[in-house]
């Protein structure tokens, strides 16, 4: 076997510029004549705007103008659209003005904008804008906001209820009636702040002469941004160019079309000059979408020997003050349909209530709905295990879906693509020597030390996705992908794709695919993404879709290239097309290996077109679109070992082993990096992170001094293993892996801590499991001593 | 106020407002965009540069405080067309994904290694307290730094050291836990 | 910076500094790692910053008469790395190494830190435990203020307007003394949610003196009476009994989203007995 690019841990092409300080982040960009925009934001969670006095600010040094929501409205800027409206759920879509006009609905809601020569001048002037508010009562919790008498955020949205969505399968009442054991739990899947290291920024250049807009923006999906902007700015789509240059992380928080996009466009049109905006981290905490925020009331029914009979839940999903781009799909389709997890679940029923509150809008955040499902399922599995006195691994084994290669339908109606869960579980158990761990746990307990072991067997839905399903579930676009593979006369290749990676490394891995398939040096292939003028329509990077879906389009284009290459080679080598074979970058006549042409020869020939076969056009370029037939479902087992200090409540994560199956691996180094990062973010939710509001609706965790994202010192080295179960959904058989770490690690660590605390009789702890919460739980369980 | 600051070996004279942060001076006045701003409360470390040879969060120092000082940014780390070993290590060990924390991380890591001290895995992890990353989970950042430490020490990679490292980590964890029992 | 404008001056002498500081709204600036973050949050809005960081005579660590005098401008990393401090007064070196992170320690100064008197800071706890003296200067002359009198309350010291810390004098830890600084770090800010400093002096197998100070729990560090340990042999029970005095010594504890006052008091008790044990072990070793 030669050294194939596919499967090799090649170093990334993205790194050369990023390790030398040459990253092209949006806030680094400069346009001649550029002005700066700063936003005046409401300090109140809920208030009527009585008046806005911009006179003083407008007179400050360098200020070109101060504008309000009404002026944007008058200029034809409409409300920010929600691009995912879940059907059959009575979903309400109240208006979301880019700048509030009469009512502010969350702390951070925009009230006015200042445009000035420098960023400093713009920010200074925001303090001089005088807004008179009539402060109203605010409500911040999703469950409480549906109660009668709670402050109402939007007209025509009674009880702040945006939607009521259900998923049902099997006979849930019978399941509970037949149960030997029912476990019940209230789970708070707490609100999180994504904290991508790069705060958002946007730079708009309105070309007055051409009546064209260029918008550089920190987006995970520039084509979606272009489409949505064409709907609410009045600028036709074909006159808009959106460029996502280097983007410093997204994790879902850079999917949305944000109000600031509209603001900079308006300001550029108004002044005739480019306008840039960038948020500070404090603004990011207020104005960039949050994640999760479910209140879940859950019951699981089981037999006394550990067979799961049914899962029933009521969920209040806090959507924040306005609908963000994908808001309604995250707590419904991406969540409720995954309640079966990796198990055979005979019956399910979930009610999800989407609720508006006076908080920052909530949208996708790494895992987007699946962490909220997986945590629920995995927690309940452990509770069942405890109730019947069975090892939590044994309970899982009893219920794991048996191996399948041709689709397996689960109770929610989803058809999982492929799965082989037990070998992953066995491998993880072997890696940690699970029986030895349990022995050690028992020994340490006798010494008054408390370690805990958490095991999670998961599968998740990603590789969004089949466009028919997208349409059926109310997503406002397709979920297919596109690629153009273009050979230049010299034989070098550009591949233009509709996805938009921002750290995940497809600039490298896609070149590996092309190099591997076409026998090219990987360095001869450059992947182009992120610019709507240069790339075909596509749907961006989120939901672990970039590799499983875009690789399908790339393979489709490659197939066309090979096909055309065969025709040209046959013609030039004077053979029939059936006698041409392609291997290692060469087209050869079968049985006559010296009669061959390299693909570079073919590229030159096709581009000069001096001698082309009949009916074959010049050029060596192919475009393909790939609409996957299904989502893909990576899976695996994660195991964590923690030690809890019962005196202080401190938790030490001692070991973390992860076995993940994402099918064939293009670049092991990059896949491992995705898993490392995903694990750490999920542990952040379990142990440290929570976005907290006070009763007035102020975000009390307003900076990185209060909101604790994980640090290096809190982690051991990770132990990674893998199994490889391809999917038939795309030609390479690959599944996504960008979110699996996060989805699995939160319940893995949570269950480990609860396992450690079993001797104390602790039943539940709300995340994050801070030392105080752990200490109190122990104290309260011990009867207050 | 008039200041003279040497940046990456080049002297600069400027007349700037006292409230101008060093990071804004570097990025906007000198056009050195490699240093990034990731927060506004001095936690994240993305803005780390070297001032008079020490690692400093350039968002927490006024440019006027750096008057007569010598500053090195990520742009000044490589020389003669050659990358600094730490930059090479980050690429070799996949110590970055989106890259936004990377400049500050590399600058901090360079000093962590140059200063010596505890360069065990645990020591490195503690040494990164002032630098946040949301993408990598830190694992490969630690490996990048260990790569440099190894290269410096032995000029050759050790065999099987990943496994040795893991077991040592476990032992250290046990010792730490044991120490808590008083 | 997102802050109101201010003037900036860099005096070459203390006398010059005093003059500049006598203007209303002027604040001294050293490393800036307490003041600048506060200014960015608009919590502090000085109209003038007086940069004292280049005034000579305040960055040395000197041995003097049974103790160490550490210049106010000495950085945390210099204190932590100093072989003199590590040998003579290890509690101080250990504490300095716990402050913030590497970058903060490279700029933050002992004078700046203690003048700021953040209740969640580390130095005040250790300095009170060591019986340090804060040396100050102003237009009106110099003073020597015992640590116990220097730290008054949250962000409040005995410093008068225009008065500067010039150095801190700590007595050398006598032979046979062990010390420990244990800290529960806030996971986001790295400040001391609770910080405990313990000093234990041993003669053979028994304790001849013990000191315990708790910081992070009330507005300033608090000395806890652990004199009951004198004459005892180190033991788990002895330290637990001594630590029981912690609760009573901490009135009106600080609480926030991360840790309530009740929890801080409890943590202080736990860290106290562990710090005493560690200090005793080091005294013997």
Angle, in degrees to the nearest 10, between helices B85-92 and B102-114: 120
Closest CA to A749 of A692, A690, A679: A679
Residue in C closest to A123 by C-alpha: C2
Arithmetic mean of pLDDT, A58-73: 98
Does A579 fall in a domain? yes
Tokens of B34: 């490699």
- Cα A2 to Cα A582: distance, rounded to the nearest angstrom: 16
Residues of B in Cβ contact (< 8 Å) with A28: 27, 33
- Cα A545 to Cα A463: distance, rounded to the nearest angstrom: 4
Q: Is B132 on the interface with A (CB under 8 A)?
A: yes
| H or E, element range at C264 | helix C261-284
Residues of A in Cβ contact (< 8 Å) with B41: 281-282, 703-705
- Residue B172: the pLDDT is 56
Query: Which residues in chain A (112-171) have CB-CB distances under 8 A to chain B?
Result: 120
Most C-contacting residue of A647, A701, A710 (CB-CB within 10 A), to test interface: A647
Residues of A in Cβ contact (< 8 Å) with C263: 771-772, 775-776
- Cα B36 to Cα B132: distance, rounded to the nearest angstrom: 12
Residues of B in Cβ contact (< 8 Å) with A14: 99
% pLDDT > 90, chain A: 99
Whether A677 sits inside 8 A of B137 (CB atoms) is yes
Shortest Cα distance, chain A CAs vs residue C55, angstroms: 31
Tokens of A209: 């002469």
Does A43 fall in a domain? no
Residues of C in Cβ contact (< 8 Å) with B131: 101
Backbone angles phi, psi at A715, to 5 degrees: -125, 145
- Residue B174: the pLDDT is 46
Tokens of A478: 């397709």
Residues of A in Cβ contact (< 8 Å) with C186: 708
Is there a single domain that holds both residue A511 and residue A619?
A: yes
Q: What is chain C's mean pLDDT, rounded?
A: 96
Q: State the first-to-last Cα distance of chain B, in angstroms, to the nearest integer.
A: 57
Does A304 fall in a domain? no
Residue in A closest to B83 by C-alpha: A20
Residues of A in Cβ contact (< 8 Å) with C267: 648, 771
Domain containing A664 equals: 400-460+631-781
Tokens of A627: 């609409």
Does A204 fall in a domain? no
- Residue C65: the pLDDT is 83
- Residue B44: the pLDDT is 98
* Domain's final residue, options A591, A626, A661: A626
**B180 pLDDT more than 70:** no
- Residue B79: the pLDDT is 83
Closest CA to A497 of A543, A558, A585: A558
Most A-contacting residue of B24, B39, B144, B170 (CB-CB within 10 A), to test interface: B39
Arithmetic mean of pLDDT, A225-241: 98
Which member of C257, C260, C263 has the closest CB to residue A706? C257
| Residue A172 burial by Cβ neighbours in a 10 Å radius (0-12, 13-18, 19+) | buried
Does A115 fall in a domain? no
User: How far, CA to CA in Å, does B88 sit from each of B55, B82, C91, C113?
Assistant: 20, 9, 39, 38
- Residue B181: the pLDDT is 36
Strands A63-68 and A161-169: unpaired
* Domain's final residue, options A593, A626, A659: A626
Which member of B17, B18, B55 has the closest CB to residue C103? B55
Whether C188 sits inside 8 A of A706 (CB atoms) is yes
Is there a single domain that holds both residue A718 and residue A659?
A: yes
Whether C189 sits inside 8 A of A706 (CB atoms) is yes
- Cα A377 to Cα C271: distance, rounded to the nearest angstrom: 38
- Residue A3: the pLDDT is 79
All partners of chain A with 3 or more CB pairs under 8 angstroms: B, C
Closest CA to A680 of A655, A702, A709, A660: A709
Domain CATH for A683: 3.30.365.10
Alpha-helical runs (H) found in C5-81: 14-21, 35-40, 76-81
Is there a single domain that holds both residue A679 and residue A774?
A: yes
- Residue B165: the pLDDT is 56
Whether C51 sits inside 8 A of B64 (CB atoms) is yes
Is there a single domain that holds both residue A572 and residue A678?
A: no
Residues of A in Cβ contact (< 8 Å) with B170: 654-655, 716
**A51 pLDDT more than 80:** yes
**What digits encode the pLDDT tens for the residues C115-158?**
999 999 999 999 999 999 999 999 999 999 999 999 999 999 99
**Fold of the CATH domain B2-76:** Ubiquitin-like (UB roll) (3.10.20)
For chain B, give every domain's residue range. 2-76, 85-181
- Residue B158: the pLDDT is 38
Closest CA to C192 of C118, C136, C137: C118
**What digits encode the pLDDT tens for the residues A447-484?**
999 999 999 999 999 999 999 999 999 999 999 999 99
Query: Long-range contacts of range C202-207, CB-CB < 8 Å, 24 or more positions apart?
Result: C202/C176, C202/C177, C202/C178, C202/C234, C202/C280, C202/C283, C202/C284, C203/C176, C205/C233, C206/C231, C206/C232, C206/C233, C207/C231, C207/C232, C207/C233, C207/C234, C207/C238, C207/C280
Residue in B closest to A657 by C-alpha: B166
CB pairs under 8 A between B and C: 84
Does A355 fall in a domain? no
% pLDDT > 70, chain C: 100
pLDDT band, residue C64 (cuts 50/70/90): confident
Which member of A692, A708, A775 has the closest CB to residue C187? A708
**What digits encode the pLDDT tens for the residues A638-654?**
999 999 999 999 999 99
∠ CA(A146), CA(A149), CA(A151), 5° rounding? 75
**B36 pLDDT more than 60:** yes
Q: Is B136 on the interface with A (CB under 8 A)?
A: yes
**B173 pLDDT more than 60:** no
Q: What is chain A's mean pLDDT, rounded?
A: 97
- Cα C247 to Cα C264: distance, rounded to the nearest angstrom: 10
Which member of A447, A705, A710 has the closest CB to residue B41? A705
Is there a single domain that holds both residue A576 and residue A715?
A: no
Which member of A679, A709, A717 has the closest CB to residue B169? A717
DSSP for A190-216, please give it: EEE----SSPPEEEEEEETTTTEEEEE
DSSP for A678-707, please give it: HHHHHHHHHHT----B-TT--BSS-STTTS
Is there a single domain that holds both residue A636 and residue A717?
A: yes
Whether B127 sits inside 8 A of C102 (CB atoms) is yes
Tokens of C34: 């307490």
User: What is the maximal distance between C-alpha atoms in chain A?
Assistant: 91
Strands A212-217 and A201-207: antiparallel
The number of folded domains in chain A is: 2
SS3 A480: coil
- Residue C120: the pLDDT is 96
Whether B127 sits inside 8 A of C1 (CB atoms) is no
| H or E, element range at A276 | strand A275-278
Residue with tokens 């730290």: C151
Q: For A12, which DSSP code?
A: P
Does A608 fall in a domain? yes
**A600 pLDDT more than 70:** yes
Which member of C7, C100, C277 has the closest CB to residue B182? C277
Instruction: Specify whether the CB–CB gap between A241 and A213 falls below 8 A.
Output: yes
Arithmetic mean of pLDDT, A573-593: 94
Strands A525-528 and A493-497: parallel
pLDDT band, residue B46 (cuts 50/70/90): very high
- Cα A577 to Cα A573: distance, rounded to the nearest angstrom: 10
Cα torsion angle, A189, A193, A196, A201, sign: positive
- Residue B81: the pLDDT is 85
* Domain's final residue, options A626, A645, A661: A626
List the helix and strand counts (H, then E) for chain C.
Answer: 12, 14
C-alpha dihedral over A373, A378, A381, A385, to 10 degrees? Answer: -160
SS3 A620: strand
Shortest Cα distance, chain B CAs vs residue A268, angstroms: 21
Residues of C in Cβ contact (< 8 Å) with B27: none
The whole-model pTM stands at 0.96
Whether B74 sits inside 8 A of A21 (CB atoms) is yes
Is there a single domain that holds both residue A760 and residue A643?
A: yes
Q: Which CATH class is domain B85-181?
A: mainly alpha
Is there a single domain that holds both residue A497 and residue A581?
A: yes
Arithmetic mean of pLDDT, C199-217: 96
Arithmetic mean of pLDDT, A488-517: 98
Residue in B closest to A668 by C-alpha: B94
Does A242 fall in a domain? no
Tokens of C273: 């007995």
Q: In Å, how far from its chain's centre is CA A491?
A: 36
Is there a single domain that holds both residue A638 and residue A672?
A: yes
Whether B24 sits inside 8 A of C1 (CB atoms) is yes
Is there a single domain that holds both residue A426 and residue A492?
A: no
């Amino acid at each position: 076997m030669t050294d194939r690019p596919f499967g090799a841990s090649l170093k990334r092409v993205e790194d050369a510029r990023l390790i030398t300080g040459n990253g092209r982040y949006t806030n680094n960009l400069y346009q001649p004549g550029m002005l700066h925009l700063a936003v005046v934001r409401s300090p109140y969670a809920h208030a009527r705007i009585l008046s806005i006095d911009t006179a003083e600010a407008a007179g400050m040094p360098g200020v070109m103008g101060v504008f309000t929501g009404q002026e944007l409205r008058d200029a034809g800027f409409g409300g920010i659209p929600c691009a995912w409206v879940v059907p059959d759920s009575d979903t309400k879509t109240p208006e979301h003005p880019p700048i509030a006009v009469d009512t502010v609905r969350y702390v951070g809601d925009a009230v006015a904008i200042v445009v000035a020569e420098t960023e400093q001048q713009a920010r200074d002037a925001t303090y001089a804008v005088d807004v008179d508010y009539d402060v109203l009562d605010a409500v911040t919790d999703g469950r409480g906001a549906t109660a009668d008498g709670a402050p109402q955020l939007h007209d025509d949205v009674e009880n702040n209820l945006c939607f009521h969505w259900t998923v049902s399968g099997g006979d849930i009442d019978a399941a509970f009636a037949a149960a030997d054991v029912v476990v019940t739990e209230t789970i708070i899947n707490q609100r999180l702040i994504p904290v991508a290291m790069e705060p958002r920024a946007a730079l708009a250049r309105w070309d007055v002469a051409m009546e064209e807009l260029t918008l550089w923006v920190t987006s995970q999906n520039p084509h979606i941004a272009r489409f949505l902007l064409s709907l609410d700015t009045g600028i036709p789509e074909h006159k808009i160019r959106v460029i996502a240059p280097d983007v410093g992380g997204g994790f879902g928080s850079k999917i949305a079309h944000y109000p600031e996009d509209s603001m900079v466009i308006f300001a550029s049109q108004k002044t005739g000059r480019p306008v840039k905006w960038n948020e500070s981290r404090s603004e990011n905490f207020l104005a960039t979408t949050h994640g999760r925020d479910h209140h879940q009331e859950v019951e699981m029914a089981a037999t006394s020997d550990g067979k799961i009979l049914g899962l029933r839940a009521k969920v209040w999903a806090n959507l924040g003050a306005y609908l963000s781009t994908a808001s309604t799909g995250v707590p419904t389709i991406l969540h409720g349909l995954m309640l079966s997890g990796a198990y055979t679940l005979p019956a399910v029923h979930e009610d999800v209530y989407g609720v508006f509150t006076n908080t920052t809008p909530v949208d996708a955040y790494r895992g987007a709905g699946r962490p909220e499902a997986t945590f629920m399922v995995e927690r309940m599995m452990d509770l069942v295990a405890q109730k019947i006195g069975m090892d939590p691994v044994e309970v899982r084994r009893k219920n794991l879906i048996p191996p399948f290669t041709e689709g397996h339908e689960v109770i929610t109606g989803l058809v999982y693509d492929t799965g082989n869960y037990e070998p992953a579980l066995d491998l993880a158990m072997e890696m940690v020597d699970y029986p030895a761990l349990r022995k050690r746990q028992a020994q340490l307990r006798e010494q008054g030390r408390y370690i805990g072991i958490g095991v999670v067997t998961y599968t998740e839905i990603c590789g969004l996705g089949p466009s028919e399903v997208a349409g059926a579930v109310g997503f406002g676009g397709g979920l297919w992908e596109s690629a153009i593979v273009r050979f230049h006369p010299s034989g070098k290749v550009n591949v233009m794709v509709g996805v938009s990676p921002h750290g995940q490394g497809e600039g490298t891995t896609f070149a590996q695919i092309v190099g591997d398939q076409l026998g090219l040096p990987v360095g001869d292939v450059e992947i182009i993404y992120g610019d709507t003028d240069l790339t075909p329509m596509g749907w961006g990077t989120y939901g672990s879709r970039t590799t499983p879906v875009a690789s399908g389009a790339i393979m489709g284009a490659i197939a066309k290239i090979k096909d055309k290459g065969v025709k040209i080679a046959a013609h030039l080598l004077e053979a029939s097309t059936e006698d041409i074979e392609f291997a290692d970058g060469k087209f050869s006549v079968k049985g006559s290996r010296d009669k061959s042409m390299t693909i570079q020869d073919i590229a030159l020939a096709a581009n000069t077109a001096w001698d082309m076969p009949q009916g074959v056009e010049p050029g060596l370029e192919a475009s393909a679109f790939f609409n996957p037939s299904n989502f893909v479902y990576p899976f695996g087992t994660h195991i964590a070992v923690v030690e809890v200090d019962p005196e202080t409540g401190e938790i030490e994560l001692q070991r973390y082993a992860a076995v993940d199956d994402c099918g064939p691996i293009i670049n092991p180094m990059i896949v491992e990096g995705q898993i490392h990062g995903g694990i750490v973010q999920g542990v952040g939710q379990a142990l440290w992170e929570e976005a907290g509001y006070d009763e007035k609706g102020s975000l009390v965790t307003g900076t990185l001094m209060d909101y604790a994202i994980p640090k290096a010192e809190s982690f051991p080295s990770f132990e990674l293993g893998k199994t490889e179960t391809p999917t038939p959904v795309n030609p390479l058989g690959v599944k996504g892996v960008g979110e699996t770490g996060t989805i699995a690690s939160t319940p893995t660590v949570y269950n480990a801590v609860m396992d450690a605390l079993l001797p104390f009789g602790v039943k539940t702890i709300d995340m994050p499991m801070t030392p105080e919460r752990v200490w109190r739980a122990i104290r309260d369980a011990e009867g207050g001593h | 106020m008039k200041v003279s600051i040497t940046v990456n070996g080049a002297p600069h004279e400027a007349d700037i407002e006292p409230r101008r942060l060093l990071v804004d001076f570097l990025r906007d006045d000198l056009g050195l965009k490699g240093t990034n701003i990731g927060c506004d409360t001095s936690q994240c470390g993305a803005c780390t540069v070297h001032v008079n040879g020490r690692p400093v969060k350039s968002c927490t120092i006024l440019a006027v405080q750096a008057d007569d000082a010598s500053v090195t940014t990520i742009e000044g780390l490589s020389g003669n067309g050659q990358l600094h070993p730490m930059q090479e290590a980050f690429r070799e060990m996949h110590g970055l994904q989106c890259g936004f924390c990377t400049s500050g991380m590399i600058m901090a890591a360079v000093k962590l290694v140059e200063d010596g001290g505890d360069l065990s895995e645990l020591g490195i992890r503690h040494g990164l307290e002032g630098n946040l990353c949301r993408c990598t989970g830190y694992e490969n950042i630690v490996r990048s730094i260990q790569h440099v430490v190894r290269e410096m020490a032995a000029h050759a990679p050790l065999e099987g050291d990943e496994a040795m490292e893991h077991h040592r980590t476990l032992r250290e964890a046990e010792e730490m836990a044991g120490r808590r029992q008083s | 910076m997102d802050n109101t404008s201010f003037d900036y001056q860099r005096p070459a002498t203390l006398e010059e500094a005093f003059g500049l500081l006598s203007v209303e709204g002027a604040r001294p600036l050293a490393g800036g790692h307490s003041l600048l973050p506060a200014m960015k949050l608009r919590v502090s809005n000085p109209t003038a910053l007086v940069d004292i960081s280049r005034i000579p005579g305040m960055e040395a660590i000197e041995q003097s008469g049974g103790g160490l005098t550490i210049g106010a401008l000495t950085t945390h990393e210099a204190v932590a790395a100093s072989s003199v401090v590590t040998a003579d007064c290890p509690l101080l070196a250990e504490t300095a190494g716990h402050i913030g992170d590497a970058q903060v320690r490279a700029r933050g100064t002992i004078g700046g830190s203690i003048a700021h008197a953040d209740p969640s800071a580390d130095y005040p706890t250790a300095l009170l435990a060591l019986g340090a003296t804060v040396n100050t200067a102003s237009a009106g002359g110099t003073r020597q203020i015992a640590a116990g009198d220097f730290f008054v309350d949250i962000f409040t010291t005995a410093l008068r307007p225009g008065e500067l810390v010039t150095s801190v004098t700590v007595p050398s830890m006598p032979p046979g003394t062990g010390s420990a600084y244990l800290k529960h770090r806030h996971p986001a800010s790295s400040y001391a949610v609770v910080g405990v400093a313990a000093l234990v002096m041993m003669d053979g197998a028994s304790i001849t003196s013990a000191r315990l100070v708790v910081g992070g729990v009330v507005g300033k560090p608090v000395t806890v009476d652990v004199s009951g340990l004198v004459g005892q042999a180190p033991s788990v029970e002895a330290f637990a009994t001594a630590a029981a005095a912690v609760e009573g010594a901490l009135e009106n504890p600080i609480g926030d989203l991360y840790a309530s006052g009740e929890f801080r008091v409890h943590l202080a008790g736990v860290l106290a007995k562990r710090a005493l044990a560690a200090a005793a072990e080091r005294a013997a070793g």
